[in-house]
């Protein structure tokens, strides 16, 4: 029994796979079951994409981060001082941040914080 929702599975292919499905059907004359077997896909996924006139990628929803409440603080820290990621991490811990260890994710921002990369 397949526990994958066919609508979700249908949305999880990439453009190359979409083209491959269409090629196998239109050029090689394979049916849905044959294509599904050849590409290790569910037949419902193949059927879904054969019914589409063009590829539409799945749109991921924006996910929140544990750093979201601290972005203003991070921005102020790195704009006003040349802090390392560890120093920013220690300051965030003092403010109640409970996320993982320091990494470039904390400092790499200006972009993630709405700024622009250094030129």
pTM of the model: 0.46
Phi then psi for residue 25, to 5 deg, are -80, -50
> For the chain, what are the domain ranges?
6-50, 61-119
Better-predicted residue by pLDDT, 20 or 6: 20
User: What pLDDT sits at residue 57?
Assistant: 83
C-alpha torsion 45→39→25→55, nearest 10: 50
User: What pLDDT sits at residue 109?
Assistant: 47
* Average pLDDT of the residues in 8-29: 86
Better-predicted residue by pLDDT, 109 or 44: 44
Task: Decide if pLDDT at 73 tops 90.
Answer: no
User: What pLDDT sits at residue 6?
Assistant: 46
Phi then psi for residue 74, to 5 deg, are -60, -45
């Amino acid at each position: 029994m397949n526990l994958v929702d066919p609508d979700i599975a249908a949305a999880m292919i990439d453009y190359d796979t979409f083209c491959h499905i269409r090629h196998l059907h239109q050029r090689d004359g394979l049916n849905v079951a044959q294509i599904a077997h050849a590409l290790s896909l569910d037949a419902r996924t193949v059927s879904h994409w054969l019914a589409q006139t063009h590829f539409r990628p799945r749109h991921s929803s924006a996910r929140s981060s544990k750093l979201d409440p601290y972005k203003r603080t991070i921005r102020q820290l790195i704009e006003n001082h040349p802090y390392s990621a560890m120093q920013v991490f220690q300051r965030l811990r003092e403010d109640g941040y409970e996320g993982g260890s320091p990494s470039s994710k904390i400092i790499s921002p200006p972009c993630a914080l709405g700024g622009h990369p250094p030129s």
